[in-house]
Structure 1
């Protein structure tokens, strides 16, 4: 077993010596170019990215869908094979306890938008029938299809691509062959040593870091607008850039501190607190909310999700409106693809000692089921109140005002203002967990080893917060433009993760052979 290389302590103490110059220059260059171009001519940048977004959704949407479908089924097949018993990293027992491990996995992705969309997306599909169904919008018959469509976007396919096959490739190459824990290593089984040592590897890593920066700055910025709006509605605090800036500063301080203290302290602590708070909120909703409606709805929605799985997952612009595919299925699938390499780095880093089967079942099965339950608790409650006339989110959701939807549903839940405040707090900590885990992962990519300089973690966290602040100052619309950009980054990233469809199972089998399992 070859041990992963870690630079000497003296070398690690130097900030720039612990950062790949190609990754640093290209990534910081992208941030400066995007912000600078937005300041000079925001309309032109929005139009340019919007056109690229539309082209990608139209011509590559089916490729993204097929990639996610194949990843899920191949990953599950690998987990059920004899190779599923192989352990990651040559340890006989896991490095991190099960609850802490699952908490970090859950919080990292669900924070990326799941909480932000959990209340509003199901209600949107309830008032605007998804193209895979013909139920009448706003009626009891539209309830199960609405949730099933949300499950498609945030369920098995989304989670599987993020940390199953790609995590196996990285784990085998890193812990077994001493290769760096970087996105470039995903192509090591195909291109060999030249992708590890050459500049091509730096370019690959930079593409993946840029995709994550684009995907993470969005939730950070949108959280600031959501919190500012929520604080105004609940407590009368002014809703404006000043409040947004204060929220950003607090959020950045939390996740930068968490990232600096590392996996075994801040990141674990924040994740565990987040999961416990989510469980408490969920319990209150189940006990004091529309319990019977939620239980019945979840049962029906899961049934609809399973029976209509392929119809929803393979919907194209030939059978659905182009605008709908662009802003829903393709957008989400591209977002998850963009996150994949860095999420795979993170999952591989925290999963040492776990079996292949544990990783795949946790990421591709258990986490999606937990996500569908969460969507039912928040989104299902929103549908219930919309159906009974207690609230009307039609206008807000037709304008994609998900911050309004989240707060309105939260205020209608048992506890009213207190519940709304708790959900705002939960949303904040969820986004903080994304910030700390992605700052840590980006730092690992730049350093090329498992313990990057703490100040590098802080640097990347601060860079994303600063970028969000500048874009918010220009108007929340520029945050939305950056969100669209992640669809463009999914093009090169999809090619980087594509070989994992066959190298992932091979990596699992190789580990199983080395451990005498096969």
Structure 2
């Protein structure tokens, strides 16, 4: 391992030209090889989709199958170890280590947790919360065998959803990687870029030349794919819902307008910076989510929700290791657990950068416990509120939710649930607003983070933020113009991009403990 103690002298913070000195190419990052590699690859993806969408789907499906077959077991072990090592660091003396060279947190706890929840939950916080529990209820996961009763089927469905959106998913997005990045960036002056994660292993080779550029580009491509996909699905899903509620035509024009509206909001939010747009949207979205949770808890199947949450979490804990390491049905895994793991892994390095940016002054214990325990438990409760209500309605009236969900219709499942509540139209509209803001908060945070990596600055200029915000939205529009298959191909493609990204995340398993112990000694702990 390189001598990180001397890094501050060896790698001073990069100096950038003043605003007056910057040319148009500087402002747009056109002199950055990472910009050309990542932007060029996305452009080629779109060009192939326009030229021959069937050929693109063939390539993506082949790569997807190869990725889940050969890397699925590795991903399962990687996520499990990341979670367990993070908990060990939080529980020990290293938990008192304060990150980011600040004595107190830069952002207060409510706003910090709100930003984390809104950014990482994204569109999954609404449509998947409604759809995944009913999917597992209708087609029980193979691990559990044949359930004895509808209630046991419901508990198994909830616990499987909790596994996919719970402890492991949240931990991989930044529990260990944020520790590594925050130390190397704030204490040692290394760039806040994915390549820095490999500095302890590769030294200067990771920071310079083709290797560093390739590392950053792979991570940007992965997170762009993971962000463009939900933006595209937002257009498709909101358009479907508006047609169901108001008979507005469910076509490309409606989808186009919805995505343009989303682009405008998240780009403006990203331009306003961390302390304005991103925080404001996150705060109000959490308030709306809490209000809807309280409403469903009050007027929905309250007893089912409470009992389902407690027993569902208990079932997940009882079966935690078997669920995390299950390999009995690879076909099922490829479309559920391993698919989700690939999706979350693709977000990993860029989310770690974003978390590092908003978490200065936090201790390792605060960071890990919030990411790996508190946020997952909140997510599981949200899934019980929404998806658990759907299962309760399905048990009381078979087909009331499952028929709407046929064909894997995510917005159909949500509307089937909201239509069985008092004031169904108002509740449905509020859920659609919530979904939109969830996607927007992910769009603005990822636009900001990609711009940080491209520019090498913690406050990238407005031009590069605008470029990436608009570019991701326009890519989504082009793909949905080809039909839902274009966006689906991109969603599957993120699993392929998770292959190199998962290798970038691997060294954090041992680097985070080493650096945490080193910081503990430096801070007298």
TM-score interval (norm. to shorter):
over 0.9
Residue 182 (str. 1) matches residue 193 (str. 2):
yes
RMSD: 1.6
Residue 113 (str. 1) matches residue 124 (str. 2):
yes
Residue number in structure 2 paired with 1:490: 498
Question: What are structure 1's unaligned runs of at least 5 residues?
Answer: none
Q: Structure 2 CA distance, aligned partners of 1:47 and 1:113?
A: 26
Residue 474 (str. 1) matches residue 466 (str. 2):
no
Partner of 2:441: helix, strand, or coil?
A: helix
CA gap 1:80/1:11 in 2 versus in 1, 3 angstroms: farther
CA gap 1:15/1:164 in 2 versus in 1, 3 angstroms: farther
Q: Structure 2 CA distance, aligned partners of 1:510 and 1:315?
A: 36
Residue number in structure 1 paired with 2:172: 161
Q: Residues 373-452 of structure 1: matches in 2 within 5 Å?
A: 373-389=381-397, 391-452=399-460
Q: Structure 1 CA distance, aligned partners of 2:100 and 2:123?
A: 28
Residue 270 (str. 1) matches residue 270 (str. 2):
no
Structure 1 residue 401: deviation in Å?
1.3
Structure 1 residue 47: deviation in Å?
1.1
Structure 1 residue 228: deviation in Å?
0.6
**Does the CA-based 8 Å contact 2:123-2:435 persist in structure 1?**
no
Q: Structure 1 CA distance, aligned partners of 2:469 and 2:36?
A: 17
- Of 127, 131, 136, 2:142 maps to 131
**Does the CA-based 8 Å contact 2:393-2:401 persist in structure 1?**
no
Q: Structure 2 CA distance, aligned partners of 1:160 and 1:166?
A: 10
- Of 13, 16, 28, 2:25 maps to 16
**TM-score between both structures, scaled by the size of structure 2:** 0.95
CA gap 1:373/1:185 in 2 versus in 1, 3 angstroms: same
Q: Structure 1 CA distance, aligned partners of 2:198 and 2:209?
A: 12
Q: Structure 2 CA distance, aligned partners of 1:90 and 1:461?
A: 31
Deviations for 1:464-514, whole angstroms, at most 9, x for unmatched residues?
Answer: 100000001011111001100011101100100000000011122222222
**Does the CA-based 8 Å contact 2:404-2:416 persist in structure 1?**
no
CA gap 1:280/1:345 in 2 versus in 1, 3 angstroms: same
Residue 340 (str. 1) matches residue 348 (str. 2):
yes
**Does the CA-based 8 Å contact 2:89-2:513 persist in structure 1?**
yes
Structure 1 residue 60: deviation in Å?
1.4
Residue 458 (str. 1) matches residue 466 (str. 2):
yes
Residue 303 (str. 1) matches residue 311 (str. 2):
no
Residue number in structure 1 paired with 2:324: 313
Residue 147 (str. 1) matches residue 158 (str. 2):
yes
Q: Structure 2 CA distance, aligned partners of 1:98 and 1:174?
A: 22
Deviations for 1:392-429, whole angstroms, at most 9, x for unmatched residues?
Answer: 33345452111211222122233211101100000000
Partner of 1:9: helix, strand, or coil?
A: coil
- Of 93, 97, 103, 1:92 maps to 103
Structure 1 residue 235: deviation in Å?
1.6
**TM-score between both structures, scaled by the size of structure 1:** 0.96
Q: Structure 2 CA distance, aligned partners of 1:139 and 1:205?
A: 48
**Does the CA-based 8 Å contact 1:12-1:453 persist in structure 2?**
no
